[in-house]
Each structure stands twice: as structure tokens, then as C-alpha cells.
Homo-oligomer: A and B are copies of this chain.
Amino acid sequence: MELLERAILENGRVLPGDVLKVDGFLNHQIDVQLLSKMGKFVYERFSDCKVDKILTVEASGIAFACLTAQFFCCPVVYAKKSRTSNLSKDCYSSTVRSYTHNNVNDILVSKNYLKAGENVLIVDDFLATGEAMNGLIDLVGQAGGNVVGVVSAIEKGYQKGGDRLREKGYDVLSLAIIDKMDENGIVFRKQ
């Protein structure tokens, strides 16, 4: 999606440690109008899928998921990263390694909010190794739902998590796929 690629080039920064810093519009400050246009783009691709629910994970997936869900007129469910006192004990859970934060988290969704037979679109801000997406797919599977698509705003294509999901047969949409990035610049995959 050209608009997002332009935002990445204009406002993103490549930092040491394979970090793409896009906290000016995606995951700290949020350009709500841009994310809403991205949500419309996602809707146009998946509008024939009868999406019952969008599933994401806290915290950085929530904005994109909500602004996308508006077009589908469906609810969002976000998986939690800790077992807070408010979370029901009756949860689906999956273990996810975060390379960004260098830790391992269980992600949890109350059994009340994922059901058998539901068509679920998975949405997150980043897709790199695919750990978080695989965790979310696992949660949908535990509930007996159907993953109709896997959507990321930005895919780090060179980390191969997206391609592994495509090989498994998932319908993966990333609005920008980065095939290479370093101090000299960012190369997007042609889509």
C-alpha cells in the first residue's frame, strides 16, 4: 500500500538491532486517519469473507484492529499478555516469544470471546518471525474457529515468518513488506 510505504520512508527510522522505529504513526503516536485508510484497504481485500471477529494482541495491535473492524462492522478481541485480576480463569492460552522485547509471554483470550465456527481475521502491526501470529492462530484453533486471513501493517519479509505462513496456506496480507533495510535505506517487496 503506497500510502503506508511513503509514511515509513518519511517517518520511519532504521536503528541498530534490526529495529524499524515507526512510533511516530503506528505504535506510540498513532496517525488515526492513516490507520483508518489502511483498515479500508484491508476491508476491500477481505470483504467477501464474512468476517465475524478481528483478533489482535495488546497493545500495539489494538489501534489498527479497531480502525479496520469499523469497516467490517465486527467486534475486535485482543489477546492479553498477562493474567490480570479482571481476566476470567477460563482462557485459551499460547506461548509467544518476542524478539523485540527479548522475553516469552503467554497470550490469553477468555473462552467467552472466541467460539467454534467463527470466521476470524487476525490483525497485528508487525509480522517478522511470525511468533505472535502463530500464537494468535493457535488460539483460534483451540476455539475451533476459522482463520480467514492474517494481516499485518508491516512485514519484515527477510525474517520469513510471512512466507512460512503463506506456504502453510494462510491468506496473508501485509500492507508493506520490507525485503531489506539498513542504514542505507529500505527496500520494499513489489506486491
Range, interface on chain A = 35 or more
Q: Is A24 part of the contact surface with B, judged by Cβ < 8 Å?
A: yes
The smallest C-beta distance from A47 to any residue of chain B, in angstroms, reads 16
- Determine the chain B residues whose CB is within 8 A of the CB of A84 once the complex forms: 100-101
C-alpha spacing A101/B67, complex, angstroms: 28
Instruction: Determine which of B25, B31, B69, B86 lies in contact with A32 in the assembled complex, contact meaning CB atoms within 8 Å.
Output: B69
Question: What mask results when residues 16 to 29 of chain A are scored 1 for a CB within 8 Å of chain B, else 0?
Answer: 01010101110111
C-alpha spacing A112/B85, complex, angstroms: 33
Q: A84-B100, A86-B19, A102-B85 are in contact. Are A113 and B75 (CB under 8 A)?
A: no
For this complex, 14 residue pairs linking A to B, each with C-beta atoms less than 8 Å apart, are A21-B86, A23-B87, A29-B77, A29-B110, A30-B69, A30-B75, A30-B77, A30-B78, A31-B75, A33-B73, A58-B58, A59-B59, A63-B76, A85-B102
C-alpha spacing A75/B110, complex, angstroms: 30
Q: Is A80 part of the contact surface with B, judged by Cβ < 8 Å?
A: yes
C-alpha spacing A21/B87, complex, angstroms: 9
**Residues of A bordering B, CB below 8 Å:** 17, 19, 21, 23-25, 27-33, 35-36, 58-59, 62-63, 66-67, 69-70, 73-78, 80, 84-88, 100-102, 109-110, 112-113
The smallest C-beta distance from A48 to any residue of chain B, in angstroms, reads 20
A24 and B113 contact, CB distance less than 8 A:
yes
The smallest C-beta distance from A183 to any residue of chain B, in angstroms, reads 18
